[in-house]
Structure formats: structure tokens, C-alpha cells
Amino acid sequence: MTKKVIMLVCSAGMSTSMLVTKMQDAAKAKNLDSEIFAVSASDADNHIKNKKIDILLLGPQVRFMEKQFKEKLTPLGIPVAVINMSDYGMMNGANVLTDAEKLIKEYERGR
């Protein structure tokens, strides 16, 4: 399996840092080759332009940006989803990672 790049977007890029760590731990436990990182909403476009990402996950606090990101990324074959609020609140990195993997696979099958 090729390396998967997962970008999380939140208001300032800070509140998702703990979730990123939990997701990285879950990826390591699964032997999943991945790069998982968080950015602020204001910096997301720069990362999209300069890095090949496999999925963009939005923190619940910026869910209002979902349509905007889907309009940009769906034509590129990059899924966009809002992180489940319960998993976000509980910092359940394993569940968020599993959801991301499922979405990536669905998009890859659809290509």
C-alpha cells in the first residue's frame, strides 16, 4: 500500500494537533505508511497546492467550509469529510483514521 497523506483542517491548526498524534499512533499500530498533519483553515490552500494529499478532514468547528473544499477537491479526486464530532471530542484517533481509510478506498475505487 502506498503512503497516505491525511490533512486535517481546523480554525487555527492547534486543536487538531492532539488528534493528529492519536491518529499517527493508530497508523503506526496498523503499520500504515502515512503522513498525518494539521493546518489552519487559512493555510489549507497553500498545502493543497504544494502537497499531494489523499484526503482532507475538517474539524467540526469548520464544518461550514465543507462545501467550499469539496468544490475545489472533488474534481481532483480528493475526498473531503467532516470529522465525527464524538470522535473529535474524545480524540479517538483510531476511529478517525479508520474513517479516513474507508473514504480514501471509496474514492480510489470510483476512479
Residue 108: how many CB atoms within 10 A of its CB? 11
10 is catalytic: yes
Kindly list the structural domains of the chain, giving each domain's residue range(s) and its CATH number in brackets, ordered by start.
4-110 (3.40.50.2300)
Query: Catalytic residue among 7, 10, 57, 80, which?
Result: 10
Give pLDDT tens digits for 50-98.
Answer: 999 999 999 999 999 999 999 999 998 899 999 999 999 999 999 999 9
Give pLDDT tens digits for 1-13.
Answer: 589 999 999 987 6
Strand partners, 82: 58
Q: What is the mean pLDDT of residues 102-111?
A: 85
* 8 Å CB contact between 87 and 8: no
* 8 Å CB contact between 7 and 37: yes
Residue 9, SS3 per DSSP: strand
Which pLDDT band, with edges at 50, 70 and 90, does 111 fall under? low
Which pLDDT band, with edges at 50, 70 and 90, does 101 fall under? very high
